[in-house]
Every structure is written in structure tokens, then in C-alpha cells.
Amino acid sequence: MAGIKSIRAESAVAHPYDKYLRTERFPHIFCAGCGIGTVMNVFVEAVDDLEREGKIEAKNLVIVSGIGCSGRVAGYLRFASFHTTHGGAIPFATGLKLANPNLTVVVISGDGDLVAIGGNHFIHAARRNVDINVVCINNFIYGMTGGQVGPTTPLGTYASTTPYGNYEIPFNLPHLAASSGAVYVARWTTLHMHRLKDSFKESLLKPGYCFVEVISPCPELFARYSKIGKGLDMMKYFQQYSVVEENPDLSKAGIDFKGGNILCGKFVDRDRPDFLATMREFVKKSLE
């Protein structure tokens, strides 16, 4: 670890994205081959593009996460950031947005955090169309706590708590977000870095509840328990089974990890008044 720090300190040229990272916290906690760093990298690229295009100001960007390996992202990114309670990122983000509507509020967290313990918040913020962005780093398992089964673990795959294979039907997250009311829904894997960046850029600029799912390798737990291999094997799996479609069918976005497609693309891009606009409209009408 000391070696990594000193190499970084002695490096003559700073990386252009260092300004977005709390490099003093490195080395990070992620295992080799984990996809979370890729998501962070692509997110920072998207923000950098939008800043240079004069479309957002990084000083108005807030990152909120819950608990888990994915939840560490808020701690590594040098924006105003909040590492909240497990499952509590979305209500926290909602409060921030309502208190200061000028902020661009982004939740970045894991599948366990967002749709297990935080599942209720996930659907109700979408129903209300709160103007926040929610990024789910879906690695199909509880990473930080040792690989327990979660609500996106595919049927029949293995986790520390399902030695006979998972027998619970998983969520199809794009379908869940869309049917709850999200105005923007996209899914990419960590292999689709350019398309993911485009989705981050689009959703950061779009008013309303925007959801981006990133299918991400957890080589240490999900891939090991399900005998898929290491990080690179997961990427090869994504390459082999991902199908990118224009207007993909939400009902076909389930993931089985048994050779079925991982359907990727932009599922939803629609407009409806967000929570604050609707609330203001009702208040105005009642005072007339």
C-alpha cells in the first residue's frame, strides 16, 4: 500500500481527473477486477464533459450513497458527498433536492442498498418523480458483507446464503423503475463505457427521476460463488451475452446468467412534471 501511495506522490504529471477524486483516500478498497472503479471513472468523464460544455457546474453536484462497496463511491469522489445509512440514500437525496432545487443530486449505490433495504424509497421516489438521478451498480449480490443473496441475484445462482442455489425470483430493475414512474431508464454493463457515459450525460441534464443500472462484475463473491471465474471472465460473459437494442422491451430485461441475453439500452425517455413542479402547481391553485 505504501508503495502505491509513493508512486502516486512521485508522479510528475497529475491525471486530469484527479480534481474529481479524493486521492488522499487511495488506495481504494475495491478488489482486483471489481467494476465499481469503472463506474466512477465513466461518471467523472461524463461530469467533466458537461462542465467543459458549460451545462453543469461541479460545485452544484451532490453525490449520495448508502452502505456497501458501491456506497464507497461517495467517499472517493471529490464533490459534495454524503455517505448515508443503509437504504437511506434516496430519502436523503430527496431532502437535499427539495431544500435546494438548484442542486444536481445523484445517488450512486448498490443493488442491495437501493432495492432490498431501500426498495420502498426506490419505487416511491420514482412514483413522485423526484428530480434526482439514481445509479445502481448491480453486481447481483451483497458484496461488502460477504456475498449474501440479494433481490437481483439470478434464480439458481449461488451466494453465501444459498448453497443450493437461489430460489427467489429476482427483480428486473429497468422494469421496476419504469413501472414505478421513472422518466429515464437505461442499462449498460461496465463493458459499455461510451454508451454509459452518454446515459450519464443525458440523465444528469434531464429533469425528473432518472435511473441508470450498471451491470458490474463482483469477481470476489458473485463470480466466485457462481463459478463464472474472475473479473475478466465476467467481462467476457458481458461481451458474449449483452444485446444492445434501440427501444428495448422492458419485459425482456430479466437476467438469468444461464446464457440468456443481458438486454442493454435506453428503455424509457419521457417527460412528466416532477414532484416540486406538481406540488407548486397544486399550492398555487389552492391559493387562487
CB nearer to ligand TPP: pick between 115 and 264: 115
The interface partner of residue 219, options being ligand TPP, ligand SF4, none and the CB cut-off 5 to 8 Å by kind, is ligand SF4
Q: Which does 86 bind (CB under 5 to 8 A by kind): ligand SF4, ligand TPP, none?
A: ligand TPP
- Read off the DSSP letter of residue 119: H
Which one, 143 or 170, has the nearer CB to ligand SF4? 143
Specify which residues 82 forms β-bridges with: 64
Q: Are 199 and 186 in contact (CB under 8 A)?
A: yes
Let me know: does 265 contact 244? Beta carbons within 8 Å: yes
CA distance 31 to 231: 9
CB neighbour list of residue 147: distance below 8 Å, 6 or more residues apart: 141, 159, 160, 220, 221, 222, 224, 225
Q: Taking CB under 6 A as the rule, does residue 33 contact ligand TPP?
A: no
Residue 111 touches which of ligand TPP, ligand SF4, none (CB < 5 to 8 A by kind)?
A: ligand TPP
Nearer to ligand SF4, 116 or 250 (CB): 116
Examine residue 220 and tell whether it contacts ligand TPP (CB under 6 A): no
Q: Is 69 in the site for ligand SF4 (CB under 6 A)?
A: yes
Q: Whole-number minimum distance, CB 209 to ligand TPP, in Å? A: 19
Q: x/- binding map, residues 218-237, to ligand SF4, per CB under 6 A?
A: xxxx----------------
Binding mask 16-55 for ligand SF4 (x = CB under 6 A): --------------xx--x-x-------------------
* Per-position x/- string for 85-124, each x denoting binding to ligand TPP as judged by CB under 6 A, each - no binding: -x----------------------xxxxx-----------
Specify whether the CB–CB gap between 170 and 151 falls below 8 A.
yes
Q: Are 65 and 99 in contact (CB under 8 A)?
A: no
- For the range 267-271, what are the long-range contacts, defined as Cβ-Cβ under 8 Å and sequence gap of 24 or more? 267/174, 267/178, 267/185, 267/186, 267/187, 268/174, 268/177, 268/178, 268/182, 268/183, 268/184, 268/185, 269/183, 269/184, 269/202, 269/206, 270/183, 270/184, 271/183, 271/208
The count of chain residues that interact with ligand SF4, using the rule CB under 6 A, is: 12
Q: Rule CB under 6 A: which residues touch ligand TPP?
A: 67-70, 86, 109-113, 139, 141-145, 150
